[in-house]
Amino acid sequence: MTQVPADWREVFGQAFRASPKRYANALRFGDYENSPVYDMLASSPGLSYLRQHLPQNLGAALPNVRMPNAVSNIPLGGYSAEEIKHYAEARSSDPDLKRYTVQRGYIPTPGLESEVRIGDNWRAGTAQAAGVAAADMATDGARNIWWFLNAPQALSMLASQQTTNMASREFTGRVPMIKNRNMRMAASVPAWLGMSLGIGNFSRAPGYKAVVPSEEDPRETSNPLAEAGSRYFLGRAGKLLPYEEFVKERPDVSKGEYNAYKAYLFGNQWPLKATMDGIHGPEVNFMGKTIPATTALLPAAAGLIGARHGIKRAGRYLRDTGGFERQKLARNQYEGIRREVSSEVGREEAMKNPQVREAYRELAKQEEANELETLKRVLGWSGGSIAGATGVGQVLESIRRSGGSNSYLEEV
């Protein structure tokens, strides 16, 4: 049995105090930035620990099974061997990281001079896992991610940011083409806006009540401000009208189809479900929110494709016109002048030097010009793609509805 130089309480305490954010923050240097998905997962000690157990993809899980590359590369959520190696090397050279992060199967010695394998010491292994689980519950790590992902709009925004982050690596590596956070968020506006329109966060869909309905007519709101706030801030949509009222606005839906749809909505409590025969056509229902394929999922997918294309177009433009090169030269000049002046008067005083300030202004000017050019192209391509797909989706939905039968008259 492996000798572990700490009792289970010390192992538990070290795991409880650890946070994957320490390592995520340590990865940042200069202009480097983690991907949005990486940073989101790093907010949960439990998920980060679980990813150390999971294989990276299907090929790693089944190394002796021959399969096509497309199948082998299906991700399973685990870290790659390279990432695990880099993680271990970073911890071995930094006692602070060693103290405040967890590596599965290893625990630091009391003096933090080294680490030892837990091996078959089940008590130490259980204490480490329990410490991580307690840390996740104390920080609401996994639950905060779940709360965030409950909203389709948030999912759309995250997907847009991840798409632009990955697409920009062709031109700038791990440095984002849009460094400013507010401008990056602005680049994802078409994504969440398109999704919000598709799921009814801005207007009442035919056949549904208002979110804050009036007593006289549930299709009208009794409080326009509360209605707008409920839709925009809370992401709420109105409930289905009774069939006798519903069919007046949706004569394409029979009573049998209406009842079948209500059974699908309320028949089980799964957070994620889907149907091909809903009153909106094919749809996904996530946490009680209806996401139609033609009027929400199609525009969302088009927006991601457009955002990626916008990044590619901006990257090629800035590369061909020298925008990246000018930014690189401006940064080198600024850092060179700052180092030279800092060696004489110190870092703080160096920033007061007119030459340093002027060099920094030139760098900021070029960075902002490149970011603005990128933002314009992302917004243009993403917004245009969503608008086009929304129009196509509305046409498809109109065609689908016009093919429905008005069986209300038959049933009455």
Give the predicted TM-score (pTM) of the model.
Answer: 0.78
Whether residue 333 contacts residue 359, with contact meaning beta carbons closer than 8 Å, is answered with: yes
Low-confidence ranges of the chain (pLDDT < 70): 1-6, 29-32, 110-113, 404-412
User: What pLDDT does residue 75 have?
Assistant: 87
Burial label for 327, CB within 10 Å (0-12, 13-18, 19+), is buried
User: What pLDDT does residue 3 have?
Assistant: 53
Strand order in the sheet with 289-292: 272-278, 281-286, 289-292
User: What pLDDT does residue 30 have?
Assistant: 56
The per-residue pLDDT for range 359-393, each reduced to its tens digit, is 999 999 999 999 999 999 999 999 999 999 999 99
Q: What are phi and psi of 291, to 5 degrees?
A: -125, 95
Tokens of 278: 């809903």
Integer distance in angstroms from the first to the last C-alpha of the chain?
78
The per-residue pLDDT for range 204-237, each reduced to its tens digit, is 889 999 999 998 899 999 899 998 888 877 778 8
Angstrom distance (rounded) from CA 108 to CA 35: 29
User: What pLDDT does residue 410 have?
Assistant: 42
Angstrom distance (rounded) from CA 252 to CA 236: 25
Q: Among 156, 229, 164, 161, which Cα is nearest to 196's?
A: 156
Q: Can you state the angle between helices 152-172 and 141-149, rounded to 10 degrees?
A: 100
> How many Cα atoms are found within 13 Å in the side-chain-facing hemisphere of 351?
2
DSSP states of 134-195: HHHHHHTHHHHHHHHHTSHHHHHHHHHHHHHHHHHHHHHTTS-S---HHHHHHHTHHHHHHH
Q: Based on C-alpha coordinates, what's the Rg of the chain?
A: 27
User: What pLDDT does residue 6 have?
Assistant: 58
User: What pLDDT does residue 4 have?
Assistant: 53
User: What pLDDT does residue 60 have?
Assistant: 87
> Which letter does DSSP use for residue 62 in this model?
S
User: What pLDDT does residue 29 have?
Assistant: 64
Strands (E), 346-403: none
Per-domain residue ranges of the chain: 8-149, 152-204+250-412, 207-240
DSSP states of 201-257: SSSPPTTB--SSB-SS-TTSBS-HHHHHHHHHTS---PPBPPHHHHHHH-TTS-HHH
